[in-house]
């Protein structure tokens, strides 16, 4: 009985730890997108990501319908794109 109790506690602790880690990771991701919100949000679009400044331009294309989103005034390829395409409503 005591052994079962210990196993239950350990499992609960592990689950809690995993949940905390996931929540923390999600917060980090959220911070990343917030810190780069200006990247592709210059227009009226809802696509966020990260621009590599050193390149010639930065833009993203919805992989579902081909709608273009660009960061005016920013440079570079785009990474970790995330958003909702306004044309086809595809989430990427």
Partner 1 sequence: MNKLVYLPVFAAVIFTAAIGCKRNSEEVVYKPLVFDKEQEVKFTPISDEILFGGPARICKIGDYFAVLYYQRDSVPTFLHVFNKSGQKMGDYIPEGRGPKEGLMIMEIQNIGSDIILNDLQQKKAMSASLDSSGNVSISENQRDRKQWMINSFRIGENYLNYFAPGPYIKENRPPRLDLESSQGYRIATFYSSPLDYTDPMLRFKLDAGGCSQSLSPNGKHFVITYYDASIIELFTIDRSIKETYRGYFYPPKFKVVGTKVEPEEDRIWAFNALHAANSYVFASYDGDLASAKKKIRSNNITVFDWNGHALRLLKTDYRVDAICYSEEDGTIYAVITDESGRHYLGKLKIDLP
Q: Which spans of this chain sit near partner 1 (rule: CB under 8 A)?
A: 43, 52-66, 68, 70-82, 92
- Of the pair 16, 75, the CB lying nearest partner 1 is at 75
- Of the pair 46, 80, the CB lying nearest partner 1 is at 80
To partner 1, the closest distance from the beta carbon of 53 in angstroms equals 8
- Of the pair 1, 54, the CB lying nearest partner 1 is at 54
Instruction: Encode 32-71: b = buried (16+ Cβ within 10 Å), e = exposed.
Output: ebeebeebbbeeebebbbbbeeeeeebbbbbeeeebebbb
């Amino acid at each position: 009985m005591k052994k079962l109790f210990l196993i239950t506690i350990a499992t609960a602790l592990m689950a809690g730890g995993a949940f905390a880690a996931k929540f923390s990771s999600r917060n980090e991701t959220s911070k990343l997108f917030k810190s780069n919100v200006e990247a592709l949000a210059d227009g009226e679009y809802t696509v966020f990501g990260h621009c590599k400044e050193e390149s010639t331009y930065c833009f993203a294309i919805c992989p579902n319908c081909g709608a273009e989103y660009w960061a005016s005034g920013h440079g570079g390829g785009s990474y970790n794109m995330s958003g909702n395409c306004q044309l086809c409503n595809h989430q990427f």
